[in-house]
Structure 1
Amino acid sequence: MSVGSDQMPEIVVRAIPFAFSENINPVWHPERHEWSHMVNGASLSMPYLEPFLIKTVREALKQASDASLKDGVCGFIAQEGHHFKNHRRYNDILKRGAYPDLADVEQEMDTDFKRLQSKSLRWRTAYTAGFETMTMGITEWLIKDRRDLFKHADPSVSSLILWHMVEETEHKNVAFDLYQDLYGSYLPRAFGLAYASWHVMKFTRRAYIRMLSKDGLWFDMRSRLRLYKMIGRAFANIGPAMMKSLLPGYHPSKVKDPDWVIRWAHAYAGLKENEIPLLDTSDPDIPAHFATS
């Protein structure tokens, strides 16, 4: 397959052990304090969100009528498992460092996701399909604006986030197809997208408020304006993709994969086993080739 194709290769399970220094600066983008903590807040949710998604698709697969879904679901589970383990490793450093009270937010998430686990399988599958659909808009934005969002930022955190987005693109059809096979109803799927997006953003917000407060910035009006500007920018970029996904005839496969994402996958295929793909964030373009560690 040539680079630049609008189709991703098969789901590839990459057991990447991202390494984070114990002394890593939580403000991993020195020019964007608020953006750093928005991403940190999202990272904090991953070890609770993604096990919930994994349990849901594993249970749903047992009831699926389409046997061809099995390989995709297995790839989804493996990729998401590696995602939350790497995020947990980073999150633990944040808590051991300047933000030990993030553990309180984690406890809230643990309790809430356990509550959601008691919901019906249809509800949980709609949540899963909705969240996975929303991540496609995030991926498009982060790739398109990578020069501004990650330039001169810590390469380990930047590479973690963008690797995560690559793999979200690779398994973009899985949760949607599983929901359609079991249920196919439009309104629960639309509700799942709205609820899942709100639910994760709620906890992300609680986490970044804790961090900005600890940094003495939550009541700083200049910081608050920078934060609101970045939130507005996120909605302006992610919103159109989410609206398209709410159309009744929508399917993730209709969305063309970003060329950079495809180039990343091809670059990774050239690495040796256990090499960590670190992006060059000093290059304004942040090209899809790696300096290994």
Structure 2
Amino acid sequence: MTATSEILVRRIPFSFDEDIDPVWHSERPEWSHMTNGASLAMPYLEPFLIKTVREALQHVSDPDLKADVQGFIGQEGAHYQNHRRYNEILKRTYPELAEAEDEMDADYKRFQTYSLKWRLAYTAGFETMTMGITEWLIRQRSDLFAGADRSVSSLVLWHMVEETEHKNVAYDLYQDLYGDYWGKAWGLIRGSFHVAWCSRKGYKRMLKRDGRWRSIRSRLRLYRMVARFFFHASPAMLRSLMPGYHPAKVRDPQWVERWASAYADLPEGRIPLLDTSDPEIPARFAA
């Protein structure tokens, strides 16, 4: 079962104010840095995913699956390039993030020496976890993004829209080449928790620099957000282990479709910036 519609690759050149506040949601500094930590991981995680599916593509004969994989590669490539631009600005305030990048780079270079089956299971596992995060971020966007910097909020929510659009691909690719249950289950655990740990490498350093890491109140707020992360990711992870599961059976938030429709009507060259001053954050783009 593969996607029935073309995966659109949107090469959006997000731009960020050079003086952007890394605490891009002033009322949620811990959440800001959790997201920053995830962004820091993208230029290492996503090239790894791309290399893995590109290698697996050599063993695929289904033309529909081949097309889906190419769409996956295009979307993920656009994601990490935009995150990298934002990360370079973050590192001007937090130069110690370069240490975290070195650690992630070493991890993914080591993973690249593992078997294709292991790497593809990691890829499919991470993409499964992402489905739960996407549902959380979109359905609770008012709580998580209202009043926040619109460039960062728009970057994150665009990324989540496209994760939804290519949600089947890594799963279908793993099933086509291997299909065994236990490898997929291990990949789900390994991929999900490793990416979460990579994100922690970043946000811990930023919270330390800000003087928040030793604050009990700040740490409690952070742990509440981490708990929310796992609470919303876990259902997607658990349902993927059920017999007969396929990502295509999961209903997407309607906001995803509305965002895609709004983007289709966007004048050429315009960056799709959401209006975070509106508490509902509707799927239309601010001037």
In which range does the TM-score fall when normalised by the shorter chain? over 0.9
- What do residues 78-122 of structure 1 show as CA deviations (whole Å, max 9, x unaligned)? 0000000000000000002x1011000000011110000000000
Show the counterpart of 1:55. 51
Cα deviations across residues 8-51 of structure 1 (Å, max 9, x unaligned)? 95311101000001100000001000000000000000000000
Which digits, 9 at most, give the CA deviation of each residue in 1:232-263, with x for residues without a partner?
A: 11222221121111213211001011100110
Taking the aligned partners of 2:130 and 2:4, their CA distance within structure 1 comes to 16
TM-score, with normalisation over the residues of structure 2? 0.97
The equivalent of 2:64 in structure 1 is 68
Match of 2:34 in 1: 38
The aligned length equals 285
Match of 2:122 among 111, 120, 127: 127
- Taking only the aligned residue pairs, the percentage that are identical comes to 68
* CA distance, structure 2, for counterparts of residue 237 and residue 285 of structure 1: 20
Please report the RMSD computed on the Cα atoms of aligned residues, expressed in angstroms.
Answer: 1.1
Identify unmatched segments of 5+ residues in structure 2.
none
Task: Give the aligned partner of residue 77 of structure 1.
Answer: 73
Judged with a 3 Å threshold, the aligned counterparts in structure 2 of structure 1 residues 38 and 55 are, in CA distance, closer, same or farther, namely same
Question: Of the candidates 144, 152, 157, which is equivalent to residue 147 of structure 2?
Answer: 152
Correspondence 1:75-224 to 2 at 5 A: 75-96=71-92, 98-224=93-219
Which runs of 5 or more residues in structure 1 are unaligned? 1-6
User: Residues 144-188 of structure 1, C-alpha deviation per residue, up to 9 Å, x if partnerless?
Assistant: 110000000000000000000000000111111010000000110
Q: Contact 2:129/2:234 (CA < 8 Å) preserved in 1?
A: no
Which amino acid in the other structure matches residue 58 of structure 1? R
Distance in 2 (alpha carbons) for counterparts of 1:172 and 1:285? 25
Deviation at 1:68, TM superposition (A): 2.2
CA contact (8 A) 1:44 1:207 kept: yes
Report how far residue 65 of structure 1 moved.
3.4
Distance 2:56 2:236 in 1: 26
Residues 1:285 and 2:280 aligned together: yes
Asked whether the equivalents of residues 126 and 189 of structure 1 are also in contact (C-alpha less than 8 Å), the reply is: yes
Divergent runs of 4+, >3 A = none
What's 1:225 paired with? 220
> Contact 1:99/1:214 (CA < 8 Å) preserved in 2?
yes
